[in-house]
Amino acid sequence: MSCLLQYNTISNNNNIYIYKHPQSPFIHTLPGSWIPSLKSKARRMGGHDHVVWWMCVVVVLAMGDLVLGMAPRRPVAVPFGRNYVPTWAFDHIKYFNGGSEIQLVLDKYTGTGFQSKGSYLFGHFSMQIKMVPGDSAGTVTAFYLSSQNNEHDEIDFEFLGNRTGQPYILQTNVFTGGKGDREQRIYLWFDPTAAFHSYSVLWNMYQIVFFVDDVPIRVFKNSKDLGVRFPFNQPMKIYSSLWNADDWATRGGLEKTDWSKAPFVAAYKGFHVDGCESSVNTQFCATQGKRWWDQKEFQDLDAYQWRRLQWVRQKYTIYNYCTDRKRLPVMAPECKRDRDV
C-alpha cells in the first residue's frame, strides 16, 4: 500500500473525478474535493499531478465506489430554435435572450407546447425548467419522449402543480408497446419554482434513467428476457407542454385551477439533445455502439448513483406502482430488476 500508481483522468464530470489505471479493468471515482490534497501528497512523494495515492483509492473501493457506470456528460445549452419548434398556440410562447430562454404561458383559453425537430433512437436529453410559481393547482408541466403510433413508447416527466405552500409532485411513467400504468411519484428536495433545475433522460439499449440535477430518481432496465417490452425500435420525438389538467392533476381532481391567478408561466432553457437521429420509420440506430451514452459504462448505474436513487426512494417517494397491490395484485416483473422493491 505504500506505492504510487499512475492513474489517468478519463473524466471530470460533476466534480467527480473518474480514474482508470492503464493496466487495470476497473474504474474508480474520487470526489473533486479530494483532488488538491491528493496532488499535494503525490508531489511530496516525488510524483506529479496525475499520480494518485493508492491508499486513497483503496479507501474509495472500501466505500463501495468501484463503478460499472458513469454519470452522463454535462449537457450543452443551445438556443431553443436549434432543436425545437412550437406545436400549438404559438402566441403563448415567449422568447428571451435570442431564444436561449423561453416561457410557456397557460391562461383560461389555452396552454401551449413544443416538440423536437428530429426523432431519436436512444440518447441523452435534458431540459432546464423553472416551474409555475405560486398557486399552480390543476396545471401540468410535461417533458417527455414519445413515438408516433398506437402501440407507442413514451418516457414521461410530469410536474403536477399544487396550492400555494404545498409541494409540487413529479410523476414519471414509461410506456412500452402502448402499455403504461408504471407511474411513480415523488416530492422534490427543493422548490422547483425558485430557480432552474435540470431534468434529463438517459436512454440506451440497456436502461432508461431519469435524472434530476444529476441525481437518478428512477431506472427502467431492459427486461425483455422477462417478457417486458422495452423501447428500442420506435424513434421518439421530444415534447414539452404546459396545460390545464384539473380533472386529475391535483389531489385527484379535487383542487381546481384558480383562473384568477392566470396567466401561469413555466420557464425553460438549455434545450440539450444528444441522440441518434432517425426517421420515424427507422427501427435501429445507425450509430449504435459508437456514442458515449451507448458504451459499457452506461449500461448500469454506479454504486454511488444507486445509493442516491435509494435515498430518493426512501425519503421522497409517495407512490410506486411496484408496491401497489390493490391496483396490481401481481407485481410487474421488471420491479425487482429495477430494485424498486
Residues tagged active-site: 154, 158
With a CB cutoff of 8 Å and minimum separation 6, the contacts of 250 are 137, 138, 160, 161, 162, 163
Beta strand pairing call for 207-212 and 93-96: unpaired
> Cα–chain-centroid distance for residue 236?
16
CA distance 273 to 214: 16
Q: What are phi and psi of 12, to 5 degrees?
A: -130, 90
CA distance 312 to 301: 15
CA distance 79 to 99: 5
Residue type at 138?
A: G
| Per-residue buried b or exposed e for 90-101, using 16+ beta carbons within 10 Å of the residue's own CB | eebbeeeeeebb
- DSSP label of 337: H
Assigned C-alpha cell, 204: 440506451
Structure-derived torsion over alpha carbons of residues 263, 264, 270, 273, reported in degrees to the nearest 10: -110
With a CB cutoff of 8 Å and minimum separation 6, the contacts of 227 are 333
> Cα–chain-centroid distance for residue 109?
31
Count of Cβ atoms closer than 10 Å to residue 335 Cβ: 18
Q: Are 302 and 310 in contact (CB under 8 A)?
A: no
With a CB cutoff of 8 Å and minimum separation 6, the contacts of 93 are 86, 102, 103, 104, 105, 112, 114
